[in-house]
Amino acid sequence: MSSCQAYVEATGLRTMGTGGKSRRGGYRLAWAMLGCGWLALTMSGAQAQMPGALGEAASAGAAARGGAMTAESGDPLDAAQGNPAGLAGVSGRVVEFGGAAMDAAGSFRNSVDPHGTLDGAGFAPVAAVAMPLGGSAWRGSLAVTPQMLMRANWRYIDPPGTAGASYGLTSNESEIVALRGTAGVARRVGSHWDVGAELGVDYNKNVLNAPYIFQQQPSLAGLKVLLQLHTAGFGWNGSAGVQWHPSSRVRLGAAWTSATVVQSHGEASGTASAQFAALGIAADPLYHYGAEVDNHLPWTLAAAGSWEASHRLRWDLEGDWTAWGNAFRTLPVKLTDGTNAVVNSVAGSDAIQDFVPLGWKDAATVRVGVETPLGENWKADAGYSYATNPLPSSTLTPLTAAILENTIGAGAGWHRGRWAAELAYQAMLPATQSVGTSALKAGEYDDSRVDARAQALLLTVRTHF
């Protein structure tokens, strides 16, 4: 039995029978859909093999339009991911769910291996429910969407580091996932304005399974171990937005999402076998620590406009700003209660605090989308987005290669009665970045190069209940 089937049985929905069209049954259906979305996200959302950092969109329609959603109204997922003011346009009680199937590929070249590879696939579901709050003008929503999906799973030969230490042909896997659950409210103010706000809780998971070179710990800097690290934690954030619609053909929107600080906790273990052998140390190389990773997710600001040029054509234009420069300066890694006597003696303690330099820059994104109806029940969408690359070459590694800049999308939508569905395809076009002299210790990433590309297929279904 799947987790969603178990959730549905636990809520009693399987006993609804033909009477499930009641208001009570509709509410229970909405909560079940949202619960299934949360279970699926926490179990499989982290499997998305994406070299990018932030998802383009939650709904298939927004993905097809290049990720433009800040000026959208009436879509619960777009409101949760883009602009909570769009929730004011929701009519009646709505549940929306779906997901994205993703595939990524790439190559990596270093001083000893010109044929490193990245490949894999995964699935990231989404869910949202929205409805009027009593008889008031307010609309409320609950949603679960990915805020950040960054995973790299590479396989290449580990280049020699300090004293020639190498762990040979290894898997190099890193993962930073942030799943955001939100509660939002919005309402129409006067005849031309919509306002909204959301409170979000982020579940953050960090995984590292790769050779790790200490960077700033004074006694260990430049030394290398094989590390398996797993941490998880929660953080809070908020967002607010506004939309202005001076006419039925024009809508402008702006939205801001706050930064998030997450202190995640877990454990780290592994071996220093190659480094011990290179230094001539004959001792047990295994170690174990308690671990803490402090993640700072960036604040974002977006502004957009939607213009219905004619009854056959609608344009969307959006600009986003992501403050990576404040968030990803360094990645603090704290290890406690170390079990290896040799490492403890070199470090002078059973606790280690290291800082991985990142030095990311703020990034700007421009999105352009177009939508046109196709007959009575169909529509088509297309779009393009360009995002500036936030990564400096000096700290680039395959594990942080969020270097994709150009994305194209296309999709189709269908609606009939209380049901609507949209299917979209996104291609994140190939990107390449090279390193001359790396700022990371031991020179292992000098004269290296990363190539990456990705694609996604998104489906979302929406119904009134």
229 CB contacts (<8 Å, ≥6 apart)?
206, 207, 208, 209, 212, 266, 267, 268, 291, 293, 333
Nearest to 316 by CA among 70, 130, 43, 23: 70
In this predicted structure, what is the pLDDT of residue 212?
94
Which is it for the CA torsion 206, 38, 129, 376, positive or negative?
positive
Task: Please check whether residue 295 lies inside any domain of the structure.
Answer: yes
Distance CA 431, CA 31 (A): 41
In degrees, rounded to 5, the angle at the alpha carbon of residue 96 between the alpha carbons of residues 90 and 98 is 150
CA atoms within 13 A on the CB side of 14: 7
Q: Domain of 352: which CATH number?
A: 2.40.160.60
pTM: 0.86
Task: Report residue 392's pLDDT band, with 50, 70 and 90 as the boundaries.
Answer: very high
Distance CA 373, CA 415 (A): 11
108, part of any domain: yes
Cβ 106 vs Cβ 450: under 8 Å? yes
Asked, for residue 18, whether it belongs to a domain, the answer is no
Between the two ends of the chain, the Cα-to-Cα distance in Å is 26
Residue that is written with structure tokens 């929701």 in the block: 90
Domain containing residue 453? 48-464
CA distance 102 to 197: 30
User: Is residue 12 situated within a structural domain?
Assistant: no
Report the number of distinct structural domains present in the chain.
1
Mean pLDDT of 178-191: 94
On whether residue 365 sits in a domain, the answer given is: yes
In a domain, residue 338? The reply is yes
Residue 179 pLDDT more than 90? no
pLDDT digits (tens, 9 = 90+) for 33-72: 444 344 333 333 333 333 344 456 889 999 999 999 999 9
> What is residue 38's predicted lDDT score, i.e. its pLDDT?
40
Q: Which residues contact 115 (CB under 8 A, 6 or more apart)?
A: 107, 109, 156
Residue 176 confidence (pLDDT): 80
The answer to whether position 4 is within a domain reads: no
Burial label, 93 (beta-carbon count in 10 A; 0-12, 13-18, 19+): middle
pLDDT by residue (tens digit) across 224-245?
999 999 999 999 999 999 999 9
Assess whether pLDDT exceeds 70 at residue 255: yes
Is residue 438 situated within a structural domain? yes
Radius of gyration of the chain (CA): 24
pLDDT for 424-436, tens place per residue?
999 999 999 999 9
Render 105-124 in DSSP notation, one character per residue.
EEEEE-SS-S-EEEEEEEEE
Q: Which of 8-17, 309-318, 327-336, 342-351 has the lowest mean pLDDT?
A: 8-17
Q: How many helices (H) and strands (E) does the chain have?
A: 7, 18
